[in-house]
C-alpha cells in the first residue's frame, strides 16, 4: 500500500474528523435537491437517494424527506381554529420515509453517514394550512399556536427517534422562520424556539451529526448558535456572511461555501475558486463543503460532477 493510500480517509473518518476539529486529507462534501417523490413509496424514495449517492459520491448523504405531514382525518387543509384542535401527536408520522431510511442504511453498507431531513414545526404548520393562516394564528391566538407547534414537534421528535433507529447519524433540521423576513429574533424566541428544541432533544445522546439548516438571507445566526447541534448549514452567498465570520460566532462545524443559486451555471474555474476560498477560510478544519440550500431540482449532472472531482483532488 502506498503512502498516499494510507493517508486516504474513509467517508466516516473524514466527517468525524471535521466534527472534532481535526485536519482531514480533503474536505468532506455534500449536496442535495428535492426529487418530487412525495406521492410515491419509500422504496422509490430510497432508490432516488441511492442513485444520487452512487453518481456523485458525496461524503455525507443528506436524505430528502418530502412526504407531507398527515392532515387530520376528514380535512384536506387546515383553515379554522377547530381544525387545528384536531391535531394529535403521531407515533410514526412518516412511515414511508422510515421505510426509505432502512433501505438506505442497508444499501450504503456503512460506506457513508446519512442524515434525515426534518422540517421545523412552523414550516409544517404552514404546509398544513398556509403562510397567512399561521401568521394570523400567531397574532390572534398565540397560545393555540404554541400548542399546535408543540403537538407537531412531538410527532417530529418521534420521527427523529425512528430515523436514528433506522441508522441515521443525526437529523438535518431545516429552519425557515428564523429570518427577519418572516419574523424578528425576539418573536422567534417567544413563539418558535421551544418547538425546535423538542425535536432536537429527542436525539440527545443518540446522534453525533445533527445539522441546523438556516434557510433564508436574513437569518438569526447569532441566536441559533446556542442550539444543541454539531453543524450549522447556511448560505454564505445569500446572507453575505463569509465562513470566517461564521467561524468566529459558532464553535462547531460549518456546512456551506458553495453558491446554491449559481452552481448550475458555474464553470470549472469558478467552482474551483469557490472551493479554494472555502479551504483557505477554514484550513480544512470544521467544514463540510456544501451549498447553502438545495441545488436546483433540474440541475444538470455536469456541475455536480465537477464539484465532486475538484473536491476529491483538493
Residue 6 counted as domain residue: no
Residue 109, classified by CB atoms within 10 Å of its CB into exposed (0-12), middle (13-18) or buried (19+), is exposed
Instruction: Judge whether 13 lies within some domain.
Output: no
Which among 35, 150, 185, 167 is positioned nearest to 105, based on CA atoms?
A: 167
Which CATH number fits the domain that encloses residue 37? 3.20.20.210
Long-range contacts of 228-232 (CB under 8 A, 24+ apart): 228/197, 228/200, 228/201, 228/204, 229/173, 229/200, 230/19, 230/170, 231/19, 231/255, 231/288
Please write the tens of the pLDDT for every residue from 190-231.
999 999 999 999 999 999 999 999 999 999 999 999 999 999
Report yes or no on 117 lying in a domain.
yes
Specify the DSSP class assigned to residue 263.
Answer: G
Read off the pLDDT of each residue in 112-132 and give the average, rounded to a whole number: 97
Q: What is the mean pLDDT of the chain?
A: 95
User: 303: which residues sit within 8 A by CB, 6+ positions away?
Assistant: 263, 264, 265, 266, 271
Q: Which runs of consecutive H residues, i.e. helices, occur in 37-177? A: 42-56, 81-84, 95-108, 121-128, 131-140, 142-165
The SS3 assignment for 219 reads strand
pLDDT at residue 4 greater than cutoff 80: no
3, pLDDT greater than 80:
no
Residue 150 lies in a domain: yes
CB 269 within 8 A of CB 249: no
Is 85 domain-assigned?
Answer: yes
What is the average per-residue pLDDT within 82-88? 95
DSSP character string of 59-72: SSEEE---PPPPPP
Please choose, from the candidates 173, 193, 174, the residue with its C-alpha nearest in 3D space to the C-alpha of residue 183.
193
The predicted structure's pLDDT at residue 7: 78
In a domain, 11, yes or no: no
Q: pLDDT tens across 88-105, in order? A: 999 999 999 999 999 999
Backbone φ and ψ for 173, nearest 5 degrees, come out as -90, 110
The answer to whether residues 197 and 130 touch, using CB atoms and an 8 Å cutoff, is no
Residue 6 clears pLDDT 70, i.e. is over it: no
Q: pLDDT band for position 283 (50/70/90)?
A: confident
The reported pLDDT for the residue numbered 314 is 81
Q: Are 116 and 171 in contact (CB under 8 A)?
A: yes
**Rounded mean pLDDT, 43-65:** 97
Residue 64 and residue 117 in contact, taking contact as beta carbons nearer than 8 Å: yes
Residue range 47-61: mean pLDDT, rounded: 98
Band (pLDDT 50/70/90 cuts) for residue 2 is very low
Decide if 299 is inside a domain. yes
pLDDT of residue 284: 86
- The residue-averaged pLDDT of 104-124 equals 97
For the chain, the domain total comes to: 1
- The pTM of the full predicted model, rounded to 2 decimals, is 0.95
Residue 184 lies in a domain: yes
Per the structure, the complete domain to which residue 152 belongs is given by 18-313
Residues 6+ apart with CB under 8 A from 35: 45, 48, 49, 52, 64, 66, 297
Please tell me the distance from the alpha carbon of residue 19 to that of residue 49, in angstroms, as a whole number.
24
Amino acid at each position: 500500500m502506498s503512502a498516499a493510500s494510507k493517508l486516504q480517509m474513509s467517508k466516516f473518518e473524514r466527517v468525524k474528523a471535521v466534527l472534532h476539529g481535526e485536519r482531514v486529507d480533503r474536505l468532506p462534501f455534500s449536496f442535495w435537491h428535492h426529487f418530487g417523490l412525495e406521492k410515491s413509496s419509500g422504496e422509490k424514495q430510497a432508490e432516488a437517494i441511492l442513485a444520487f449517492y452512487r453518481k456523485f459520491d458525496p461524503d455525507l448523504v443528506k436524505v430528502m424527506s418530502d412526504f407531507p405531514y398527515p392532515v387530520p382525518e376528514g380535512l384536506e387543509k387546515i383553515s379554522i381554529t377547530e381544525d387545528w384542535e384536531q391535531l394529535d401527536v403521531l407515533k410514526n408520522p412518516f412511515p414511508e420515509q422510515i421505510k426509505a431510511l432502512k433501505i438506505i442504511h442497508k444499501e450504503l453498507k456503512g460506506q457513508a453517514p446519512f442524515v434525515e431531513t426534518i422540517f421545523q414545526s412552523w414550516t409544517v404548520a404552514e404546509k398544513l394550512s398556509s403562510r397567512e393562516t399561521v401568521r394570523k394564528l400567531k397574532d390572534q391566538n398565540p397560545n393555540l399556536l404554541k400548542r399546535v407547534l408543540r403537538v407537531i414537534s412531538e410527532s417530529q421528535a418521534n420521527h427523529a427517534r425512528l430515523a436514528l433507529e433506522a441508522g441515521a447519524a443525526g437529523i438535518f433540521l431545516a429552519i425557515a422562520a428564523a429570518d427577519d423576513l418572516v419574523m424578528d429574533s425576539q418573536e422567534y424566541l417567544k413563539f418558535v424556539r421551544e418547538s425546535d428544541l423538542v425535536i432536537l432533544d429527542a436525539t440527545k445522546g443518540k446522534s453525533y451529526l445533527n445539522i441546523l439548516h438556516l434557510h433564508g438571507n436574513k437569518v438569526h445566526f447569532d441566536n441559533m448558535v446556542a442550539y444543541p447541534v454539531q453543524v450549522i448549514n447556511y448560505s454564505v452567498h445569500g446572507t453575505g456572511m463569509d465562513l470566517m465570520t461564521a467561524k468566529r460566532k459558532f464553535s462547531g462545524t460549518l456546512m456551506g461555501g458553495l453558491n446554491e443559486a449559481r452552481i448550475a451555471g458555474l464553470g470549472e474555474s469558478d467552482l474551483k475558486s469557490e472551493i479554494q476560498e472555502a479551504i483557505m477560510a477554514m484550513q480544512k478544519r470544521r467544514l463540510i463543503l456544501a451549498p447553502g440550500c438545495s441545488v436546483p431540482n433540474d440541475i444538470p449532472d455536469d456541475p455536480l460532477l465537477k464539484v465532486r472531482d475538484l473536491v476529491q483532488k483538493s
